[in-house]
Amino acid sequence: MILYADQVTDSMQRMVDLTSERRRQQEEYNRAHGITPRKIEKAISESLMQAEKAREAEEFAVHEAGADYDVVRAIAEMEREMFEAAEAMEFERAALLRDQIYELKKTENPFKGTVQIGKRKAIVYHPGKRLPGKRPSSTRRRKS
């Protein structure tokens, strides 16, 4: 943990002490249960690239055919994939699917349940970017 300050305040010291205590408890638990912490090693960017290429190909095929795309069915399928990705700890892929579901829900035609692909700009995932209209959690006001 890195803190930048001219002096250590009481609240900063309490936070450092609490963090140290939690770390000590975790290390003790790990020793008692024979756990050796190690980082997760996955090719996240590679799987995201494959998913993006597949999505682009599907979108192009549907657009070229001029067919309506069943939004309700697509959202259900994407939600299933999102939960599978989250369970597999593929959080970037799950976030991409969540954002795509959000965009599809905004475009859904309530009378037909379909949307014409190609009428809207493609949904593109950018790591670190937030959804439109949402403030980052660090700037949200908290009730006192």
CA atoms within 13 A on the CB side of 29: 7
Q: Tell me the pLDDT of the chain (144 aa) as tens digits.
A: 677 888 989 999 999 999 999 999 999 999 999 999 888 766 666 667 777 777 776 666 555 554 555 677 777 888 888 888 888 888 888 888 888 888 877 765 544 444 444 445 544 444 444 445 555 555 555 555
Report d(CA 116, CA 74) in Å as an integer: 13
The whole model's pTM is what?
Answer: 0.34
